[in-house]
Amino acid sequence: QVQLVESGGGVVQPGGSLRLSCAASGFTFSGFGMHWVRQAPGKGLEWVAFIRYDGSKKYSADSVKGRFTISRDNSKNTLYLQMNSLRGDDTAVYYCAKGFCSGGGCCYDYWGQGTLVTVSS
């Protein structure tokens, strides 16, 4: 069965860095685009970043552009999010999500359980 397991969250000071990982199993990781989505405390879901199946294209939200970098290692079935220059408003649960596209449209058909990032001094 499909599993997405995030790790790497924790408490970090403002201005600090953190790297999140998402270990994927149960599907052909190299065949699907992958996303990071976050949820700040008491807030809704926010799309953060997307990487194509082969890593050739990457996109990120304006709120994290220039600070966060999405990447993947298809040989390790792992997705990453390098987060630099962290701010208080980056505090959130970060989810990785598997993209799926068919004739009927695209969606996230599987999500991880999330990892909490807290930016605080």
Partner 1 sequence: EIVLTQSPGTLSLSPGERATLSCRASQSVSSSSLVWYQHKPGQAPRLLIYGASSRATGIPDRFSGSGSGTDFTLTISRLEPEDFAVYYCQQFGSSPPYTFGQGTKLDIK
**Where do contacts with partner 1 occur on this chain (CB under 8 A)?**
35, 44-47, 50, 59-62, 95, 97, 104-114
Q: Pick between residue 29 and residue 50 the one whose CB is nearest to partner 1.
A: 50
Q: Pick between residue 31 and residue 41 the one whose CB is nearest to partner 1.
A: 41
Please state, in angstroms and rounded to a whole number, the distance separating the CA atoms of residues 63 and 67: 9
Tell me how far, at minimum, the Cβ of 20 lies from partner 1, in Å.
15
Asked whether the beta carbons of 118 and 10 are under 8 A apart, the reply is: yes
Handedness of CA 24, 26, 31, 33 (dihedral sign): negative
* Two tokens, residue 58: 């990457």
Tell me how far, at minimum, the Cβ of 55 lies from partner 1, in Å.
16
Q: Pick between residue 65 and residue 87 the one whose CB is nearest to partner 1.
A: 65
Asked whether the beta carbons of 6 and 61 are under 8 A apart, the reply is: no
Please state, in angstroms and rounded to a whole number, the distance separating the CA atoms of residues 93 and 96: 10
> Residue 29 in 3-state DSSP?
helix
Tell me how far, at minimum, the Cβ of 53 lies from partner 1, in Å.
15
Q: Pick between residue 44 and residue 75 the one whose CB is nearest to partner 1.
A: 44
Tell me how far, at minimum, the Cβ of 32 lies from partner 1, in Å.
14
